[in-house]
């Protein structure tokens, strides 16, 4: 299947190659005309490494979403905020529940971080969204490929780090900036308000953000009579009931920077109240609450040696009930209540021996308690983890080398013998070594060739080992398997980057072998008395291979063309078929025209984007929601679709204040479509035309 799709990839490569030639000619012409082209490269610390470097100077596949790009794609769904990136997709459910997918892996196989610290949000469920809010973040980092060396078990497929506001230490203004943000969307009547402010005094700095978003039911794309006259016709269309939600978020940060030490304290609170529509027309209501407290300190022993300590506490609570909405949940009528507390401590020693060498040695301890007070989907359980790791980076005029090694020990077991439905109370223990090697070769001023080998590890979760109950969010009875083995991934990737002030193009080819891949299989049986299908946890060896293309080309000084292309193939050896929950191949393209002054806007940016998703068939009976291919309505397999969007960003001058405004039309043509990773695809359609208006008003 992978070979059949290489034709379209070759066409894209040819177009990029020709674009590179044109760009080189244009650059030469500028030099001949003695025009000076200034190109500044920012060195920042991004999630793929503990150190600051130019984003292009790493063997890790890293994307950073910030500034205008973040505003353009910003959503309450973390997955939707990122799914325009190469190799990234989203398992979506309605307007705000979107789980990121990196190179076909999701849930417990990727790590979602908040300010560099792993977040547990009971991510085993396909409809369990991350408990972080992209709206109040300053940027989001995405690392594709195993990152177990730095972030431990579960970073098997990649890492997403949601980074909070920077602290303006030394600003000497108690309130340096105060911004009011407003957003409205027509499709689901979404209304959002946010306030961001920061300040500082002497060696101190602080920042805060608060937001509230409320939305009604969403509306699908236009449906014709011919759409309804087939067996795959959606059961629900136009306004889809029970898809409303309410999200509140608050972030606070305080920091101090002295001559030999830096200290910061961050607290975040996230509450997500959401309804899900089930195929039988009933709702499932859910309330998610997440708190996170992070203490981070660094002591500079010498100019080349820093001791870094981190303490983290997280509390996560999930209450859900099928048959009633979140507005009706009162603590007595929910059929599932799961809570967890997570404590983490890290001690890091960082050295900067020379201009060529940097390194980090670390110890990490994690303690987690999960408790189920209502329902029996997962048992009470205790988790303890210990890790020791080392990471070194070497750079000279020709080569960048990144090498890491990590040891993990994990203990996990059910903690409540009174939960008689648990089949095995034995303690499970895993001891493992993981590592990675990355090499980036500077072939010329414009060319960078990179290669990377990474070994990832993941212990089976409490859910996968011991689940034994009705899961309302997926309308299934799920059964764990206490004899599951750990997963090991071995990822190989090579890539080539062409980097000039006018063209930035990267092509990556990867092959990820995962031993003992854990998946859910529809047994074909029904659970009584619920009548729901029984899903069982199984495992087998798997491979995922693919190609990613990421290009940004300045056609002129004012016109930029961006495109990404993601293609992957997978194989579950035991069944000679694909893995479940694999995204369809996608192509994304965007043209942006920048003007200094247009329609009363300064720094105006007009853009049009286009997304094509290929059709995709289910990966057999073990695909989640596969049953809808056998029902008299809906479908689990999906057809190709195309979406077009347009928008404008810019700055308005009002009473001496610079106001940032944005107007975006998504799914401009109001297409009716189903995305393969949309959990509603079996009985309804994707969101129709949506007009979004956003304004950021600086009060100070």
Under DSSP, the state recorded for 4 is G
pLDDT for residue 57:
60
- Give the β-pairing of 158-163 and 110-114: parallel
pLDDT for residue 56:
58
- The structure tokens listed for 583 are 């995204």
Per DSSP (E only), the strands in 303-425 are 305-322, 336-351, 357-374, 381-395, 399-414
Under DSSP, the state recorded for 219 is B
Measured CA to CA, the distance from residue 281 to residue 272 in angstroms comes to 22
Domain boundaries defined on the chain: 3-698
pLDDT for residue 27:
38
Measured CA to CA, the distance from residue 345 to residue 297 in angstroms comes to 12
Instruction: Answer for the pair 147, 156: CB distance below 8 angstroms, yes or no.
Output: no
Which residue, chain included where needed, has tokens 């989907």? 377
Instruction: Answer for the pair 629, 231: CB distance below 8 angstroms, yes or no.
Output: no
Which residue, chain included where needed, has tokens 């300040």? 199
Per DSSP (E only), the strands in 202-257 are 204-215, 245-257
In this prediction, the residues of the chain whose per-residue pLDDT falls under 70 are 1-60, 472-473
pLDDT for residue 632:
83
Under DSSP, the state recorded for 105 is B
pLDDT in tens, 309-327: 999 999 999 999 989 999 9
Half-sphere exposure of 368 (CA within 13 A, CB side): 26
pTM greater than the 0.85 cutoff = yes
φ, ψ dihedrals at 100, nearest 5°: -65, 145
Fold of 3-698: Maltoporin; Chain A (2.40.170)
- The structure tokens listed for 137 are 């973040």
């Amino acid at each position: 299947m992978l070979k059949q799709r290489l034709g379209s990839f070759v066409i894209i490569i040819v177009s990029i190659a020709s674009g590179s030639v044109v760009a080189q000619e244009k650059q030469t012409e500028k030099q001949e005309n003695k025009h000076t082209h200034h190109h500044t490269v920012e060195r920042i610390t991004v999630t793929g490494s503990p150190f600051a470097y130019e984003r292009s100077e790493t063997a890790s596949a890293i994307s950073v979403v910030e500034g205008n790009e973040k505003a353009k794609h910003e959503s309450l769904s973390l997955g939707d905020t990122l799914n325009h990136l190469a190799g990234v997709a989203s398992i979506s459910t309605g307007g705000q529940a979107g789980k990121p997918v990196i190179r076909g892996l999701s849930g417990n196989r990727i790590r979602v971080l908040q300010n560099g610290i792993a977040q547990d949000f009971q991510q085993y469920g396909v409809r369990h969204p991350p408990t972080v809010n992209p709206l109040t973040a300053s940027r989001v980092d995405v690392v594709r490929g195993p990152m177990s060396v730095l972030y431990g078990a579960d970073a098997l497929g990649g890492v997403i780090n949601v980074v909070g506001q920077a602290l303006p230490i030394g600003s000497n203004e108690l309130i340096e900036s105060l911004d009011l943000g407003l957003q409205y969307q027509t499709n689901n009547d979404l209304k959002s308000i946010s306030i961001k402010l920061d300040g500082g005094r002497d060696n101190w700095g602080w920042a805060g953000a608060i937001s509230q978003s409320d939305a009604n039911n969403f509306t699908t794309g236009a449906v014709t009579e011919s759409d309804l006259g087939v067996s795959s016709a959606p059961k629900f269309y136009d306004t889809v009931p029970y898809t409303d939600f309410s999200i509140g978020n608050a972030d606070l940060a305080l920091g101090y920077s002295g001559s030999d030490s830096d200290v910061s304290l961050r607290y975040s609170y996230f509450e997500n109240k959401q309804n899900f529509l089930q195929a039988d027309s009933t709702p499932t209501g859910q309330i998610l609450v997440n708190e996170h407290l992070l203490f981070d300190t660094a002591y500079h022993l010498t100019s080349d040696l820093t001791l870094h300590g981190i303490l983290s506490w997280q509390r996560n609570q999930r209450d859900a009930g099928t048959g009633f909405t979140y507005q009706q949940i009162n603590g007595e009528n929910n059929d599932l209540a799961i809570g967890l507390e997570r404590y983490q401590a890290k001690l890091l020693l960082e050295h900067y021996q020379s201009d060529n060498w940097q390194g980090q040695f670390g110890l990490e301890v994690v303690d987690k308690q999960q408790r189920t007070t209502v329902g029996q989907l997962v048992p009470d359980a205790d988790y303890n983890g210990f890790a020791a790791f080392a990471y070194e980076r070497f750079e000279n005029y020709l080569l960048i080398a990144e090498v890491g090694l990590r040891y993990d020990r994990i203990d996990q077991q059910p903690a409540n013998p009174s939960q008689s439905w648990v089949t095995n109370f034995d303690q499970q223990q895993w001891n493992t070594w993981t590592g990675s090697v990355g090499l980036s070769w500077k072939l010329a001023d414009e060319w960078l060739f990179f290669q990377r080998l990474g070994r990832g590890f993941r212990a089976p979760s409490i859910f996968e080992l011991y689940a034994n109950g009705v899961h309302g969010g997926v309308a299934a009875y799920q059964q764990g398997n206490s004899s599951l083995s750990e997963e090991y991934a071995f990822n190989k990737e090579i890539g080539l980057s062409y980097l000039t002030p006018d063209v930035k193009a990267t092509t990556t080819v990867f092959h990820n072998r995962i031993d003992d891949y854990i998946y859910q299989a529809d047994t074909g049986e029904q659970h009584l008395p619920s009548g729901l299908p029984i899903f069982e946890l199984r495992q087998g060896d798997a491979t995922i291979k693919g190609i990613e293309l990421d290009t940004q080309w300045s056609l002129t000084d004012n016109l930029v063309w961006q495109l990404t292309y993601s293609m992957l193939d997978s194989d579950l050896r035991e069944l000679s078929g694909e893995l479940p929950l694999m995204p369809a191949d996608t192509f994304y393209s965007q043209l942006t025209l920048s003007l200094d002054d247009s329609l009363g806007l300064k720094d105006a940016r007009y853009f049009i984007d286009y997304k094509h998703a290929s059709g995709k068939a289910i990966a057999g009976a073990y695909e989640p929601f596969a049953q809808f291919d056998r029902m008299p309505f809906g479908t689990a397999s999906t057809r190709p679709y195309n979406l077009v969007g347009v928008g404008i960003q810019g700055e308005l001058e009002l009473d001496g204040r610079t106001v940032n405004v944005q107007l975006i039309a998504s799914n401009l043509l109001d297409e009716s479509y189903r995305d393969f990773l949309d959990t509603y695809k079996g009985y309804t359609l994707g969101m129709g035309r949506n007009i979004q208006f956003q304004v950021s008003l600086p009060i100070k």
